[in-house]
């Protein structure tokens, strides 16, 4: 490159660096956007992120890549986004765990504060878990499951993919509302917990419907109920736990939302919000999300923040009552 051209590029870069972020937002996006997924490839969050990225590439006319940063119960990836430049080029597709539940459990061990360090763009989807058992388990409904647990206090085992995540809280909430006692068996990932339930090594598990569907269709496990307040529109044949009268207040789903680093320019957040919510109204994306066990849940940033506060208060009651702590 000619020295004069090189100097011109350097001067241009320096000039841009001196501009306020609000001015730079007018040309957003001018380069590739990265959506960080704080979990391994192939899981529910990863699938949602890739479906969303496909739509945003078209609407924003820019490359959108998915970067998996698993570790520390989702906090590694979420923390990386919290510390990224607030320019709209590094986003987080986060779940309830690393944005609402983990602060209740890890507290001062957290390397970021979601409410302070992440700017909510919109909720993306709400995903109920499903309660499944081995086909030969002596219960065909939540009522029968509770009755069995009452006759065998402390003997029933329930598997989840880790301590303090929505699945764990699913089991604790069922115990709180019905008075039963179960043993928690945490795993590292849904695949192993489903395999062990199918083998009869663990009595029940709470897991995403997308993960459980191959096992259900193959007759390896049976579905007793979903964890949402009402039956899911994509699986109306599966009752809700809340249909069992003593657990009428049961309502605990997982959910995913898109976040940017705090102090990202409002114009950038507005453009991202418009693009994502428009995508969530597309029939094809709605269909694909429902195939993954989710229902689209576009919200304004303010409504999403309020939703998170309400959900966090619900989680806090469960965490406190169950004495869930980071060990």
* Each residue's pLDDT tens digit, 103-154: 999 988 899 999 999 999 999 999 999 999 999 999 999 999 999 999 999 9
| Separation between Cα atoms, residue 63 and residue 59, nearest integer Å | 10
Same domain for 107 and 64: yes
User: Is residue 273 classed exposed, middle or buried when 0-12, 13-18 and 19+ CB atoms within 10 A define those classes?
Assistant: buried
> In terms of Cα–Cα distance, which of 291, 208, 216 is closest to 255?
208
Same domain for 262 and 118: yes
Share the mean pLDDT of the chain: 90
- Classify each residue of 81-119 as buried b or exposed e, where b means 16 or more C-beta atoms within 10 Å of its C-beta: bbebebbbbbbbbbbbbbbbbbbbbbeeebebebeebbb
Query: Which residue range(s) make up the domain with 201?
Result: 129-247
Same domain for 242 and 134: yes
- Say if 115 falls within a structural domain: yes
**Helices 44-59 and 209-217 sit at what angle, rounded to 10 degrees?**
120
Same domain for 196 and 156: yes
304 neighbors 277 (Cβ within 8 angstroms): no
Number of structural domains (the chain) is 2
Query: What is the CATH classification number for the domain harbouring 208?
Result: 3.40.190.10
16 vs 98 pLDDT, higher one: 98
Cis peptide before 241 (omega within 30 of 0): no
| Separation between Cα atoms, residue 184 and residue 169, nearest integer Å | 10
Calculated CA dihedral for residues 255, 101, 122, 256, nearest 10 degrees: -30
pTM listed for this prediction: 0.86
Same domain for 138 and 123: no
> In terms of Cα–Cα distance, which of 90, 53, 96 is closest to 69?
90
Same domain for 42 and 76: yes
Domain end residue (candidates: 247, 269, 303)? 247
Same domain for 206 and 137: yes
Same domain for 171 and 108: no
Query: What is the CATH classification number for the domain harbouring 42?
Result: 3.40.190.150
pLDDT tens digits along 52-98: 999 999 999 999 999 999 988 899 999 999 999 999 999 999 999 99
Same domain for 81 and 45: yes
Same domain for 195 and 115: no
């Amino acid at each position: 490159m000619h020295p004069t051209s090189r100097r011109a590029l350097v001067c241009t870069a320096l000039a841009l660096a001196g501009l306020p972020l609000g001015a730079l937002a007018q040309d957003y996006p001018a380069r590739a956007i990265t959506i960080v997924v704080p979990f391994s490839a192939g899981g529910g969050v990863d699938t949602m992120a890739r479906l969303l990225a496909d739509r945003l590439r078209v609407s924003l006319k820019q490359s959108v890549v998915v970067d998996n940063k698993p570790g520390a119960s989702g906090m590694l990836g979420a923390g990386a986004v919290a510390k990224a430049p607030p320019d709209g080029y590094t986003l987080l597709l986060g779940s309830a765990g690393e944005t609402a539940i983990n602060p209740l459990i890890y507290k001062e061990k957290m390397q970021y504060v979601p409410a302070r360090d992440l700017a909510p763009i919109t909720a993306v989807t709400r995903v109920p878990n499903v309660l499944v058992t081995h086909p030969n388990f002596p219960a065909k409904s939540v009522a029968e499951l509770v009755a069995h647990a009452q006759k065998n206090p402390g003997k029933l085992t329930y598997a989840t993919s880790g301590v303090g995540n929505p699945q764990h809280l699913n089991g604790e909430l069922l115990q709180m509302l019905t008075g039963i006692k179960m043993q928690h068996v945490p795993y590292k990932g849904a695949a192993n917990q489903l395999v062990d339930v199918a083998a009869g090594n663990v009595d029940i598990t709470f897991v995403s419907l997308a993960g459980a569907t191959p096992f259900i269709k193959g007759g390896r496990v049976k579905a007793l109920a979903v964890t949402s307040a009402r039956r899911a529109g994509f699986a109306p044949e599966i009752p809700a736990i809340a249909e069992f009268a003593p657990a009428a207040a049961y309502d605990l789903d997982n959910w995913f939302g898109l976040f940017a680093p705090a102090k990202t320019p409002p114009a950038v957040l507005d453009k991202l919000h418009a693009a994502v919510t428009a995508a969530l109204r597309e029939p094809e994306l709605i269909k694909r999300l429902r195939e993954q066990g989710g229902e689209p849940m576009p919200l304004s940033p303010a409504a999403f923040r309020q939703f998170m506060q309400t959900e966090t208060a619900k989680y806090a009651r469960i965490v406190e009552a169950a004495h869930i702590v980071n060990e």
